[in-house]
Amino acid sequence: MTTDDIGVHHDGPVLRITLNRPRVLNAVTEAVLDDLADLVTEAGTDPDVRVLVLSGAGRAFSAGADLGSAAAVTSPEATVQAANRLIRALLAVPRPIVAAVHGPAAGVGCSIALACDLVLASSTAFFQLAFVNVGLMPDGGATLLVPAGVGRARAMALSLLGERLPATTAAAWGLVHRVVEPGELQPALDTLVTRLSTAAPLALTATKQAVNAATLGDLEGALQRELTGQSALLASTDFHTAAAAFLAKETPHFVGR
C-alpha cells in the first residue's frame, strides 16, 4: 500500500479515501490505482463501513494519469488495466460512494469521479476528458459513463474537443449530483454522508446494483474497447510526441501515426 500517496481515515461508518499527491495534482500511477482498487474492494467486505468518500488533497481531485512517471513510458497499458480494475471496484462495491470534487477532475481522474455513485462538486471545479489533447481516447469507462449521464451528442463533444466542463454546467447536464460554493462543500458533504450512513443499507445496495445494471450494462464491453483502442494509441508517435510536449509545456504537433 502506497500510504504516502493515499490517505485513509475511518470516521465511524464512513471510510474517507484521499488522493494525496498534491504536487502533481493527484495524478495517478498504476500503483496508486491498484491500491485504490484494493481499498474499495476491502471496504465492501467490512460490515462497519456504510459509506465511502473519495476526494483529493491540494488544488485538484485528480489531473488524470501521471505522464511524468516511469510507468507512463515503460508500461502505459498496465496503467489502463489498473484504472479498469478500480472502475470495476467502484461500481461493484455494495456501498454508496461519494466523490467530493473541489478542483480539476481530468482524464482518468474524471472517469474515477463519475464512477462514484454521487458526485458533489464545488462551483470552482471542472471536469475534462483531456485524452484527445495528448493523442489518446477516453478510458476508465468514460465512453460509457459519460454518455449514460449526458447523452451521445454532449459526450461526443466532450470527448472529441477535450474542453473543460465547469461543474455548474456538469450539474445542469445531469453529469453530477450537486454543485455548491467552495465554502459549502464540506458541510454539504457531511450532510450527504450522514444521510447515506443512516439509510437502510440493504436498500442502498440493491438500488445501486439495479441502477448500474440498467444504465451501465455494457461496462465490460466498454472497458475492453477502450483497452484495445488505447493500447494502439499509446504505441503511436502522436502520443509519444504529445507526452514529451506535455512535460515540456509545449503544444504538440500531431501527424496521424
Q: Which tens digits make up the pLDDT trace of 41-66?
A: 999 999 999 999 999 999 999 999 99
Structural domain includes residue 133 = yes
- Calpha distance 210→225 (Å, rounded): 24
Contacts of 149 (CB under 8 A, 6+ apart): 114, 155, 173, 174, 175
Contact 80, 227 (CB under 8 A): yes
What pLDDT, on a 0 to 100 scale, did the predictor assign at position 72? 53
Structural domain includes residue 242 = no
- Calpha distance 101→86 (Å, rounded): 18
Model pTM above 0.75: yes
Q: What's the mean pLDDT when you consider all of the chain? A: 94
What pLDDT, on a 0 to 100 scale, did the predictor assign at position 67? 84
User: Which strands form 104-106's sheet, in the order they lie side by side?
Assistant: 104-106, 126-128, 164-166
Structural domain includes residue 117 = yes
Report the Cα 251 to chain-centroid distance in Å.
25
What pLDDT, on a 0 to 100 scale, did the predictor assign at position 110? 98
Structural domain includes residue 230 = no
What pLDDT, on a 0 to 100 scale, did the predictor assign at position 234? 92
Residue with cell 462495491: 93
- Calpha distance 55→57 (Å, rounded): 7
Contact 54, 97 (CB under 8 A): yes
Dmax (CA) of the chain: 55
Structural domain includes residue 237 = no
Contact 4, 20 (CB under 8 A): yes
Structural domain includes residue 17 = yes
- Calpha distance 72→84 (Å, rounded): 16
pLDDT digits 0-9 by tens, 189-235: 999 999 999 999 999 999 999 999 999 999 999 999 999 999 999 99
Confidence class for position 3, pLDDT limits 50, 70, 90: low
Number of domains in the chain: 1
- What domain range includes position 109? 6-183
CATH value at residue 108:
3.90.226.10
Structural domain includes residue 245 = no
Termini Cα distance of the chain: 38
pLDDT digits 0-9 by tens, 113-149: 999 999 999 999 999 999 999 999 999 999 999 999 9
What pLDDT, on a 0 to 100 scale, did the predictor assign at position 230? 95
